[in-house]
Structures are given as C-alpha cells and as structure tokens.
Amino acid sequence: MKNILVATDFSPEAHHAFGVAVQLAQHTGGQLTLLHVLEDADEAGGAFSTVGGPVSGHSIDQIFTIKLMEATKRRMHALQAEAAQLAPGVPVQDVVEVARVGEGILTAIQRYGNDLVVVGARGHGATEHFFVSSTTERLIRLAPCPVLTVKHPEPAFKVQQIVFPSDFLADAAGAIEGLRRVLAVFPDATLHLLHVAAGADDHLAQQQMQDFARQHQLAHVVVAEVAANRTSAGIEEYAQRVAADVVVIPTHVRSGLSHFLNTSIAETVATHAFPPVLTYHFAS
C-alpha cells in the first residue's frame, strides 16, 4: 500500500478520504496520486483522456471547460499544499481527467499502477456529491486493487483494531494473501476474527476460528461470534462495539459463491459502517 490513489470531488467525505490517504502514504513511506475526474457531457461517453493544455476553438463549451479546468487545478494545488503540511516528504502528484467518474477512476488505477484506492462516501443511502453509492459499489466490484472507503474524519488514523468478518469456510483461505498485506502494514494491531450467525443453524464454534488463526499463523487475534438478522448489520454493530479502526472484507469478483462474503454485503458495509472499510478480491 505504497502507491495510493485518492479520488476527490472536493466534498467533505472526499476530504476525509484525502486525510486518511496522506496518513497512510506517510506511514508506509509511499506516494500519493490525487485524482479529480471531470464528467464532461461531450467526453463522458468517450475514452479516458488527460486535458493538459488549451482547447482549440472558441465555443462557449470549450471556454467553460478551460475555466473549469483552471479552477479545478487551483483546488488540487491547495490540496497538495495541505498534504505538504500534514506529511512533509510524501510525494503527491495531481491529475485531472475527463471521463465518466467510475471509468475514470478505474482507468487511472491501471495507468498509475496503484496498489490502493481511497475514496470518500456518503452512507445510509445519501446520493449527493460525486461518490454516490453506485460509484463506490462499482469500484468494490471492479477495482484490481484494494478499495478503502472513508465516511468520517480520521485526524489520527492509527490502526489498532482490525475486524475481519468471514464465514471461515474452505474458500476463506483465498482471503489470506490480502489479509496478510494489511497486517504487514499494521503488525501490532489486534485482529478480530468475526462470524455473524444469521440463524439458529448458522453458529460457528470458536475452535474453528482459533484453528483458522493457528493454521495461518495470525498473531494478536481475538475470535468473536455475534447473532444478527442481517450479516452486514452484525458486522457494523460489532465494529462499533470494539471501536474498530478499519473493517477488512474480502469479496468475490461476482457474488453468489459464498452466502457470507459476497460482494453485496461488502458494498453495504463499505457505505454504512462507521469506520473505514477496506475491501479486496479473493485470490484466484
């Protein structure tokens, strides 16, 4: 998690994500790419392209685009200056692109080889701003790297409590590689292995979770099981109870392979749970 992309629409939630991204880059000795996507009516249906200079012609639309680009660049430079104050020495490049929002972010990840994307999101069904739930959900499903969703201010993002929900079935082993990457960044954090029992026949012996931890040589582990009508609600409630700093949820690229760790649950938790939520895909 050293090559971090943070996408911004200059909303408060995007600024929360920016703050977390800067702190992560400082913690890992990494670098930051600050991305804003202009969803231009003429360009939204076309390819992802950088607007790097003056536009030829003199139409009102072109003049508006140039003025908008200039204003956006000023706001991006202000964020760069803020990053320099928060974390001196962290390299930050700013990129302004014209594309559809979701496609622009996905293509930027590929272009810059990012190993983490950080986005702000408004939870609980809010649809204002740039990162409406559909954009966040699309990133969770399609991004080739982990996605960290941030909804609230995190002035001191020190990860001490990590919640890892799972059904701990056979396919859970495919999540270990991604979990190890997170634990390598925060080696002293307590890892909460969580199972949510959705019914009377869905309980999991704590011994199974302890065996999972032992098999994969996981340290600083707490095992827990909670009962809830909805898996996502159980995750959210437990995360609040233990004051989790981050919830880590592996997902399948497509849902349906597991009743627990499917993409829809990850999307719900990412846009509703209070702490930041990191999602990544199972190893294929």
Tokens 């827990």, residue located: 224
Helix (H/G/I), strand (E/B), else coil: 48? coil
Strands in 161-165's sheet, in edge-to-edge order, are: 49-50, 92-98, 31-38, 3-7, 116-120, 147-150, 277-281, 246-251, 161-165, 190-197, 221-227
Same domain? 145 vs 13: yes
**Residue 269: inside a domain, yes or no?**
yes
Length of the chain: 284
Q: Which domain holds residue 219?
A: 161-281
**Residue 7: inside a domain, yes or no?**
yes
Summarised one tens digit per residue, pLDDT across range 202-260 is 677 788 899 999 999 999 999 999 999 999 999 999 999 999 999 999 987 654 444 44
**Residue 210: inside a domain, yes or no?**
yes
Distance CA 111, CA 146 (A): 16
* The domain boundary residue, chosen from 150, 173, 191: 150
Residues whose CB falls within 8 Å of the CB of residue 222, separated by 6 or more in sequence, listed in order? 190, 191, 192, 193
* The domain boundary residue, chosen from 118, 150, 182: 150
* The domain boundary residue, chosen from 98, 130, 150: 150
CB-CB contact of 179 with 164 (8 Å): yes
What pLDDT does residue 32 have?
97
What pLDDT does residue 42 have?
53
Burial environment of residue 59 by CB neighbours within 10 A (0 to 12, 13 to 18, 19 or more):
exposed
What pLDDT does residue 124 have?
47
Same domain? 88 vs 171: no
Same domain? 22 vs 124: yes
What pLDDT does residue 200 have?
64
Distance CA 24, CA 221 (A): 23
**Strand duo 246-251 + 277-281: pairing:** parallel
Same domain? 94 vs 170: no
What pLDDT does residue 98 have?
83
What pLDDT does residue 266 have?
87
What pLDDT does residue 123 have?
56
Distance CA 183, CA 265 (A): 22
**Residue 155: inside a domain, yes or no?**
no
Helix (H/G/I), strand (E/B), else coil: 6? strand
Same domain? 128 vs 8: yes
**Residue 240: inside a domain, yes or no?**
yes
What pLDDT does residue 282 have?
85
Comparing C-alpha atoms, which of 137, 108, 115 is closest to residue 47?
108
**Residue 156: inside a domain, yes or no?**
no
Burial environment of residue 226 by CB neighbours within 10 A (0 to 12, 13 to 18, 19 or more):
middle
Same domain? 7 vs 142: yes
Same domain? 77 vs 19: yes
Same domain? 123 vs 186: no
What pLDDT does residue 126 have?
44
Same domain? 135 vs 245: no
In tens digits, the chain (284 residues) has pLDDT values of: 899 999 999 999 999 999 999 999 999 999 999 999 987 655 443 333 333 444 455 577 677 778 888 899 999 999 999 999 999 999 999 998 888 888 899 999 999 999 999 999 875 444 444 445 578 888 988 999 999 999 999 999 999 999 999 988 767 888 999 999 999 999 999 999 999 987 766 677 788 899 999 999 999 999 999 999 999 999 999 999 999 999 999 987 654 444 444 567 888 898 888 999 999 998 76
The DSSP symbol for 7 reads: E
pTM summary value: 0.86
What pLDDT does residue 50 have?
37
Distance CA 202, CA 72 (A): 51
Same domain? 97 vs 166: no
Same domain? 273 vs 177: yes
Number of domains within the chain: 2
CATH of the domain at 94: 3.40.50.620
Same domain? 209 vs 103: no
Q: Report the 10 Å Cβ neighbour count for 262.
A: 16
Q: Report the 10 Å Cβ neighbour count for 30.
A: 18
**Residue 82: inside a domain, yes or no?**
yes
- Which segments within the chain are labelled E, that is strand? 3-7, 31-38, 49-50, 92-98, 116-120, 147-150, 161-165, 190-197, 221-227, 246-251, 277-281
Distance CA 141, CA 112 (A): 19
**Residue 212: inside a domain, yes or no?**
yes
